[in-house]
Amino acid sequence: NYARTVSKGRLSQQEMDKRMALIQPAERLDELGDADVVIEAVYENLDLKKEIFARLDTIMKPGALLATNTSGLDVDAIAASTSRPEFVCGMHFFSPANVMKLLEVVKGEKSSPAALGTAMALGKRLGKVSVMAGNCPGFIGNRMIGGYSHQANLMILEGASPAQIDKVIYEFGLAMGPFAMADMVGLDLGWRARKMRGGSNEVTSRIPDELCELGRYGQKNGLGYYRYEQGSRVPIAD
């Protein structure tokens, strides 16, 4: 992401080098034991997240904040896999995380004021607009987007194309239409989540699910609602 931003002239090479120098990679979870905050960001699989938090619980020092970047899974279920649910909360960064300002800090049933205060303060330090959300399906942002995307997919079933719908939304004033946004995030995330829940009876899930069955996951592999030239994120009606 940084290299692409530099190539577009939005970030200097010097600033990129400065930021990269702050990143220290680790190959094993046990190398994170001295961290004050750990933010888990694996894909939306509740069992996997619970497994990771159970391991982190044995590794992280007392008082460390354990945060999940889930966009809508049950934070309390994740926290219950640890012996310190009071130090667990959600920190949902919107994609792309290095650009989008919004950060949802999700309060679990047992999240302590200290944990939530740390998460909100960290968001401010990162330059984010932090909002407190309750632990419910989709939190705030994705609950809103859910209805919006549902109606957009109904319009496809009624005969409109993704490009037509996105064009109207863009002209209305939004930065992206629902289908360009879905391609950017990755259609496979919702598809895999629905499969783990045993599928969906929603008629509007049929379109993204069928696209994924065809191997069309979005920008990540060049085919989604749109197609993309190699190395480009410009959607092309397909």
Q: Which domains does the chain have, with CATH numbers?
A: 33-134 (3.40.50.720), 141-237 (1.10.1040.50)
Catalytic residue among 49, 84, 92, 216: 92
pLDDT tens-digit map of 64-99: 999 999 998 999 999 999 999 999 999 999 988 888
178 touches 148 (CB < 8 A): yes
pLDDT of residue 196: 78
Residue 146 has pLDDT above 90, yes or no: no
pLDDT of residue 95: 84
The reply to whether 92 belongs to the active site is yes
Residue 201 has pLDDT above 80, yes or no: no
Report the predicted TM-score, pTM, of the whole model to 2 decimal places.
Answer: 0.84
Residue 157 has pLDDT above 80, yes or no: yes
Mean pLDDT of 125-135: 97
pLDDT of residue 186: 93
The CA distance from 103 to 91, in Å, is 7
